[in-house]
Amino acid sequence: MNYFFITGTSSGIGKALTSALLQDNNTKVYGMSRRQDAVSGSYVPISIDLSKMDDLNAFEFPELDEPEKIVLINNAGQIGDIKPVGNTNNQSIADLFTVNVTAPSILMNKFIQTYGALPVQKTILNVSSGAGKNAIEGWAAYCGSKAALDLFSLTVFEEQKKASYPVQVYSVAPGVVDTQMQAEIRNSNETDFSRHEHFVNLKKNNELTSPDEVAEKYLHILNHTEKFPNCIFSLRDL
pLDDT digits over 123-180, tens only? Answer: 999 999 999 999 999 999 999 999 999 999 999 999 999 999 999 999 999 999 999 9
| Rounded-to-integer distance, Cα 183 and Cα 200, Å | 9
Structure confidence at residue 38 (pLDDT): 61
Q: Kindly provide the b/e burial profile for residues 60-82, where b requires at least 16 CB atoms within 10 angstroms of the residue's own CB.
A: ebeebeebebbbbbbbbbbbbbb
Query: Which of 54, 165, 46, 145 shows the shortest CA–CA distance to 105?
Result: 145
The pLDDT profile of the chain, 238 residues, written as one tens digit per residue, is 999 999 999 999 999 999 999 999 999 999 999 877 766 679 999 999 999 999 999 999 999 999 999 999 999 999 999 999 999 999 999 999 999 999 999 999 999 999 999 999 999 999 999 999 999 999 999 999 999 999 999 999 999 999 999 999 999 999 999 999 999 999 999 898 989 999 999 999 999 999 999 999 999 999 999 999 999 999 998 8
CATH of domain 2-174+210-237: 3.40.50.720
| Rounded-to-integer distance, Cα 153 and Cα 124, Å | 9
> Which positions are annotated as active-site residues?
142
Instruction: Report yes or no: 215 and 16 within 8 Å, Cβ to Cβ.
Output: yes
Structure confidence at residue 238 (pLDDT): 86
What is the pTM for the complete model shown? 0.96
Beta bridge partners of 209: 177
Structure confidence at residue 121 (pLDDT): 98
pLDDT digits over 109-120, tens only? Answer: 999 999 999 999
- The set of residues, in sequence order, having a beta carbon less than 8 Å from that of 167 and lying 6+ positions away, is 111, 112, 115, 116, 122, 123, 124, 156, 160
Instruction: Report yes or no: 33 and 55 within 8 Å, Cβ to Cβ.
Output: no
- The set of residues, in sequence order, having a beta carbon less than 8 Å from that of 100 and lying 6+ positions away, is 77, 78, 142, 145, 146, 148, 149
